[in-house]
Chains A and B, each alone.
Chain A
Amino acid sequence: DAGVIQSPRHEVTEMGQEVTLRCKPISGHDYLFWYRQTMMRGLELLIYFNNNVPIDDSGMPEDRFSAKMPNASFSTLKIQPSEPRDSAVYFCASGRGYEQYFGPGTRLTVT
C-alpha cells in the first residue's frame, strides 16, 4: 500500500507568486493534517480535516494560506501571495485516530 504522496517535492518561486502544494492521503484514513517545519519553529500544525471537513485551522498563519479537501483522496495547501518567510518544508499526514503517517514533504523556497 502506498504511503502519503506529496507533490511537488521541491518548489522554488519568487515572492508574490501563488504556490499550490498537493497531497494524496493513505486510502481509508479519515484524518488529514498539514504541517510546516522550520529550524526555528520546529513542526507546526497548520490545519487538519476529518472526513474532508476542516476541523481546526487555528495554525494557519494568515489569510494568504488556504487549504481544501474536495474528496477523501486529495488535498491542497495554497499560499497566495507567497513571501520569503514562507520558506519551509511542508508535510501532509494522514491517519485514523491519533496515529499519523507523514508524507515525504515539499521543500518550498521563496526568493
Chain B
Amino acid sequence: TQLLEQSPQFLSIQEGENLTVYCNSSSVFSSLQWYRQEPGEGPVLLVTVVTGGEVKKLKRLTFQFGDARKDSSLHITAAQPGDTGLYLCAGARGNTDKLIFGTGTRLQVFP
C-alpha cells in the first residue's frame, strides 16, 4: 500500500509555463519534505514543512502543507529546463525517524 500518492506521474511542459504537483495521503504526517532527483544522482532535499497550512517559498518554488497535514503541493512558476527531474514528497509519521516516500512526479521542461 502506497501511503503517499503523487500526481501527475509525468509532466512535460514548455519553458515559462507554471505547474503544480500534488502529494496526497489518507494519513496524517508530522512533517513533510520535498526532494528533487536528477538522473544518476541521489534525491536532494528542497524543503521541510511541519505546520498545517504552512507555505514556504524557495525562489520560483512554492510549497504548501495541507491544513490537516495529509497533503502537500509544489507549485513552480515560470519553469526552466533546469527544473527538470524527479520530484519526490516524503512524510514522517509520529515519533518515527523514517520517511515514507511518494510515488514521484517526473518533470521535463523543454526550452
Task: Tell me if A108 counts as interface (CB < 8 A to partner B).
Answer: no
**CB contact between A42 and one of B45, B92, B103 (< 8 Å): that residue:** B103
Chain B residues proximal to chain A, CB less than 8 Å:
2, 31, 33, 35, 40-45, 48, 88, 92, 96-104
For chain A, the bracket of interface size reads 20 to 34
Q: Which residue of B lies closest to A43 (CB)?
A: B101
**CB contact between A43 and one of B41, B43, B92 (< 8 Å): that residue:** B43
| Chain B nearest CB, measured from A107 CB (Å) | 8
A-B contact count (CB 8 A): 50
Q: Is the CB of A99 within 8 A of B45?
A: yes
Q: Which residues of B contact A31 (CB under 8 A)?
A: 97
**CB contact between A99 and one of B42, B48, B100, B102 (< 8 Å): that residue:** B48
Q: Is the interface of A mostly helix, strand, loop or mixed?
A: strand
The distance in angstroms between the C-alpha atoms of A101 and B96, with both chains bound, is: 17
Q: Is the CB of A100 within 8 A of B88?
A: no
6 contacts between A and B (CB under 8 A): A42-B101, A45-B100, A48-B97, A98-B92, A98-B99, A104-B40
Task: Tell me if A12 counts as interface (CB < 8 A to partner B).
Answer: no
Q: Which A residues between 10 and 33 are near B, CB-CB below 8 angstroms? A: 31, 33
Interface flags, A69-91, vs B, CB<8A=1, else 0: 00000000000000000000001
